[in-house]
Amino acid sequence: MSIEQPEVSSVPSVEQIAEAVRRLTPYLTETLTRFVGAKSLPGEEMPGAEFLEQELATLGLESERIMLRTDLLRDEPLFSMPCCPDGGRYNVLAVHRPERSTGRSVLFNGHLDVVPTGPAELWSEPPFESKLHDGWIYGRGAGDMKAGIVCALAAFKALRELGVQPAANVGFNGVLEEEYTGNGTLATVSALRHAINTAKLTAFDAVLIPEPTHQKLSSAQLGVFWMTVEVVGKPSHAAYMQDGVSPLEAAQHFIAALKELEAELNLPENRHPLYRDHPHPINFNIGQLHAGEWNSSVPSTCEIGLRLSCYPNTDIDEAKRQAEACIETARLALNQPDIRVNVSYEGFHAPGCEYDLDAEPIQLLGAMHESVNGAPIERVALTATTDGRHFRKMLDVPVTNYGPIARSVHGFDESVSLASMIEVTEIFARFIVEWCGVEALPA
Ligand SMILES: [Zn+2]
């Protein structure tokens, strides 16, 4: 005798998803806290990569390591000059692959590297000892962007806890070097492209990058490049300062000239249409300035470390030429034959791009946001760069950035909103259900 089973739908309801995500609040907090503790500064990202491998394994996902091999990337148009040796570092890529894929796939891409903290004693609490206070989780990298990666993992976990799994490939890619070259994602995209060309893998149908965008969709991002200006002068005893020529004082003129160029690019009539309403989209940042050996000598050299930006429709090599010409004009105006200037490039060579927010998966993400959050999704043209450019420019795949609300990213006491993480997790889980479809977990 057989008992007829009532037909059970394997698609969880909106309420069930919301409840499953809410139950994962401790998971979000604990995982992010430990992830922040896996200190992953530039060039030293491996603790973050190892942490992600373990978390993926806990979710039943096996990772592959994509080694950073700059010798293989050098000819790519999006290649940036490295700031540190490859050193055996790798990205972590795990893909959930159902036995028979019936839906559309998605890749969550996030960076493992975090930026330097500055003097740790200027933080309220040690930057790598993450804590939850008043609904905010603190620590370097908490917002930018370990929280976003944790939200993607939690969305997958929430569905599994409801007895289902995505009915299409869902990838999780943790990358190196997003904050200074982008060569990490370049390594994965170039490996994916190779795999697609050799038919080893199907392409992803959408890519989501959960950067801390304040739950807005990014419509564009600027071109960004790093530039080092070495100024050589003529050292002398401070008592006879007039015999010397200070490269530090010359550098101040070059910085002033660059600031004038920055102001010109920010004039309303010079702004790119997507940045028209932004009061100051182009930022020329003096990130480093090193000069001199001690107080009683006119310095012999001065090095300026710059991060410059340009609009998405400006050719980045043209932007570099423009900055170099600006410095050269300032050098000639100084009329100081003892001042020599050498410009070099290391770090970001990141052309800007615009995103197609009308693409189907991005529209769907927007609809899920509105359904969970209650307000229509907003669009933002980013004044930074992100790894979205690799997917936009190298693969024909819809991509954008969308992630939780964070405060003080790159600053002291960086933090991310736990409420926003919960919401983003729910939105990602709903997105997976709609985009990938779900099926019952295999017995
Ligand atoms: Zn980031």
The pLDDT score that the predictor gives to residue 9 is 62
The pLDDT score that the predictor gives to residue 292 is 95
CA 144 / ligand 1 centre spacing (Å): 5
Instruction: List the structure tokens of 53.
Output: 């491998």
CA 414 / ligand 1 centre spacing (Å): 12
The pLDDT score that the predictor gives to residue 303 is 98
CA 43 / ligand 1 centre spacing (Å): 15
CA 240 / ligand 1 centre spacing (Å): 48
CA 180 / ligand 1 centre spacing (Å): 10
CA 75 / ligand 1 centre spacing (Å): 25
CA 198 / ligand 1 centre spacing (Å): 31
CA 48 / ligand 1 centre spacing (Å): 14
CA 129 / ligand 1 centre spacing (Å): 20
CA 148 / ligand 1 centre spacing (Å): 9
CA 116 / ligand 1 centre spacing (Å): 13
Q: Is the pTM of this model over 0.75?
A: yes
CA 415 / ligand 1 centre spacing (Å): 13
CA 244 / ligand 1 centre spacing (Å): 44
**Within 10 Å of residue 337's Cβ, how many Cβ atoms?**
8
DSSP 129-192: S--EETTEEESTTIIIIIHHHHHHHHHHHHHHHTTEEESS-EEEEEES-TTTT-HHHHHHHHHH
CA 181 / ligand 1 centre spacing (Å): 12
The pLDDT score that the predictor gives to residue 2 is 44
98 in helix, strand or coil?
Answer: coil
> pLDDT means per 10 residues in the chain (443 residues)?
50 98 98 98 98 98 96 96 97 95 96 97 97 97 98 98 97 98 96 79 89 98 98 97 97 98 98 96 98 96 98 98 98 97 98 98 98 98 98 94 98 98 98 97 88
- Reply yes or no on domain 14-220+353-440 having CATH 3.40.630.10: yes
The pLDDT score that the predictor gives to residue 203 is 80
CA 28 / ligand 1 centre spacing (Å): 19
What is the dihedral sign for C-alpha 284, 313, 74, 42? Answer: positive
CA 410 / ligand 1 centre spacing (Å): 9
CA 211 / ligand 1 centre spacing (Å): 5
CA 50 / ligand 1 centre spacing (Å): 19
CATH of span 223-350: 3.30.70.360
Q: Which residue has the tokens 């052309």?
A: 351
CATH 3.40.630.10 location in the chain: 14-220+353-440
User: Dihedral (C-alpha) 103, 108, 109, 115: value to the nearest 10 degrees?
Assistant: 180
CATH 3.30.70.360 location in the chain: 223-350
Give the HSE-up count for residue 97: Cα atoms under 13 Å, Cβ half-sphere: 10
